[in-house]
Structure 1
């Protein structure tokens, strides 16, 4: 896991908010599902993104 890699992976802003809420609530699986569904990224990329969101590493917004 390397949340810094998420800086190169655009994610829609709404998906970022939803995934962050799930992560802060302790539901990692749902957070991963939100990112995968919104972006089509693989689980490794999704994991990097959800942890970046928790650690306040900026993730670019994308459509």
Structure 2
């Protein structure tokens, strides 16, 4: 796990908020699922993102096309 890798993985703002909420509630599996479903990233990437959100590492916001 390396939350710093999440700096290169854009995620929609609403998805970031949902994943952060689940992580703060102790539901890591649900946080990972939210990220994977919204982005299509693999589990390693999703894990980097959810831990980045908790450790306040900036995750770029994915802009809608």
Query: 2:58 & 2:38 partners in 1: Cα distance?
Result: 17
Structure 1 segments (4+ residues) deviating >4 Å: none
- Determine if the alignment matches structure 1 residue 51 to structure 2 residue 51: yes
Q: Give the paired residue count.
A: 63
Partner residue in 1 for 2:36: 36
Query: 2:11 & 2:38 partners in 1: Cα distance?
Result: 7
Relative to the length of structure 2, the TM-score reads 0.95
RMSD (Å) for aligned C-alpha atoms = 0.5
Q: What do residues 24-59 of structure 1 show as CA deviations (whole Å, max 9, x unaligned)?
A: 000000000000000000000000000000000000
**Unaligned ranges ≥5, structure 1:** none
Query: 1:60 & 1:38 partners in 2: Cα distance?
Result: 14
- Structure with the greater alpha carbon radius of gyration: 2
